[in-house]
Amino acid sequence: MLKSVHVNPLQCVSAAEAAAWHQVVAASTAHDLPGTPPPDAGRIHAQLTQPALGSRRLAWLAVGADGVPVGVAGLRMFTSPGQEHLAELELHVDPAHRRRGAGSLLLSAVVTACRAENRRSLIAAAAADSPGEAFSERRGFRRALTLHHLILRLAEPAEADLLRIADAEHPGYRLTGWTGTVPDDLADAFAAAKNAMNDMPVGDLDYGSVAWDADRVRAMAQVIADRGDTLLTIAAVHEDGTVAGYTETLLPRGSGTRAQQYDTAVVPAHRGHRLGLWVKTAMVCRLRAEHPGVVEIETDNAEDNAHMLAVNRELGFRSYRRAHELQLDVPTA
């Protein structure tokens, strides 16, 4: 069966190759995650062709003997100091073409690339009890972190409840917000706050750490803009000018109705003041006012991140599925 599948590395991804990639991912997502919004073709093209932040991307396309695309693998090679040991895998096989060797061939190419790049850790995400999880565990991946995916229907929180939280007094703090790149006068303070994400629960993942500065913050916003997405941020600023906490929400390109939660963090010195709930509530109010076409937000939290799970559930988020971060300790040559 393996002879009927060929794996081709992609160099400069063409429009036809991006379309083939989208075809496979759309079929895989519809089968394994029913109810999840379908991937946007333009967004996938941008992800495959636009530079990434702190990483570079390798990609492979598996085709059958008739030239039909049957599987894809994308490998994100992290390049930032503190993460040079790490690679992240995205692998999809069209359900109509599974159990014919495409996934195994793609993973073999990925592992070979990791070894050539001296990557000791390969991580991947898979829905709990899904075909992707079973495939990964049969090939040596182990569960390193359990995630709860949650959805908030924006119409559900009562206006009075949102206003009660949003208008609560937080002496010494004020809220501010922006779209896209952080304003220059907050860039350094915001970058310092981003470093609070380095103490987020990561289970047994060999994830490393990321050092944020103003240039990296601006570069992240540019990467998101270049692929056609919109980044919204709400921040709590202390009277001394410190960004004490923030939340980020991504609006995917196209006409999607589901927003994606990005980071939410509170700087350790400012915890205990319910700033996380404050900024997230302000974001819900902003989405309702400025983006009425968005009807829900998806987020995920590590199972052992009890505090953020409690914040999200107080706001009205409800669990709808679990996922696992899986890790393969890459064998040395």
Give, in order, the Cα–Cα distances in Å from 287 to each of 153, 178, 281, 317: 11, 12, 10, 15
Checking phi first, is residue 129 left (phi over 0); if not, alpha (psi -120 to 50) or beta? left
3-state secondary structure of 151: strand
Q: What is the pLDDT of residues 117-169, one digit of tens each?
A: 999 999 999 999 999 999 999 999 999 999 999 999 999 999 999 999 989 99
Burial class (CB in 10 A: 0-12, 13-18, 19+), 185: exposed
Instruction: Give the pLDDT of residue 325.
Output: 97
- In sequence order, the β-bridge partners of residue 145 are 325
Token duo for residue 23 = 């075809």
Summary mean pLDDT of the chain: 94
Instruction: Give the pLDDT of residue 287.
Output: 96
232: pLDDT confidence band, cut at 50, 70 and 90? Answer: very high
Instruction: Give the pLDDT of residue 65.
Output: 87
Largest Cα–Cα distance of the chain, in whole Å? 68
Give the residue-averaged pLDDT of 9-30: 96
Token duo for residue 96 = 């109509």
Give the residue-averaged pLDDT of 250-271: 91
Burial class (CB in 10 A: 0-12, 13-18, 19+), 241: exposed
Q: Which amino acid is at 16?
A: A
Structural domains of the chain in order of their starting residue, each with its CATH number: 2-119 (3.40.630.30), 150-322 (3.40.630.30)
Q: What is the DSSP letter of 198?
A: G
Instruction: Give the pLDDT of residue 332.
Output: 74
Q: What is the pLDDT of residues 319-329, one digit of tens each?
A: 999 999 999 99
Dist. CA 210–CA 80, nearest whole Å: 7
Residue 75 φ then ψ, to 5°: -125, 120
Token duo for residue 232 = 């919204």
**How many percent of the chain have pLDDT more than 70?**
98
The answer to which of 34-48, 177-191, 219-233, 294-308 has the lowest mean pLDDT is 34-48
Q: pLDDT higher for 177 or 36?
A: 177
Which of 278, 267, 277 is CA-nearest to residue 242?
267
2: pLDDT confidence band, cut at 50, 70 and 90? Answer: low
Is 70 exceeded by the pLDDT of residue 333?
no
Q: What is the pLDDT of residues 189-231, one digit of tens each?
A: 999 999 998 888 888 999 999 999 999 999 999 999 998 899 9
Token duo for residue 253 = 């390109």
1: pLDDT confidence band, cut at 50, 70 and 90? Answer: very low
Q: What is the pLDDT of residues 44-59, one digit of tens each?
A: 999 999 989 999 999 9
Instruction: Give the pLDDT of residue 255.
Output: 62
3-state secondary structure of 57: strand
Give the residue-averaged pLDDT of 92-110: 96
Instruction: Give the pLDDT of residue 3.
Output: 59
Which pTM does this prediction carry?
0.91
Q: Which amino acid is at 188?
A: D
Give the residue-averaged pLDDT of 292-310: 94
Sheet of strand 142-153: strand arrangement: 5-10, 55-64, 69-78, 86-93, 121-127, 318-329, 142-153, 296-302, 258-266, 243-251, 230-238, 173-179
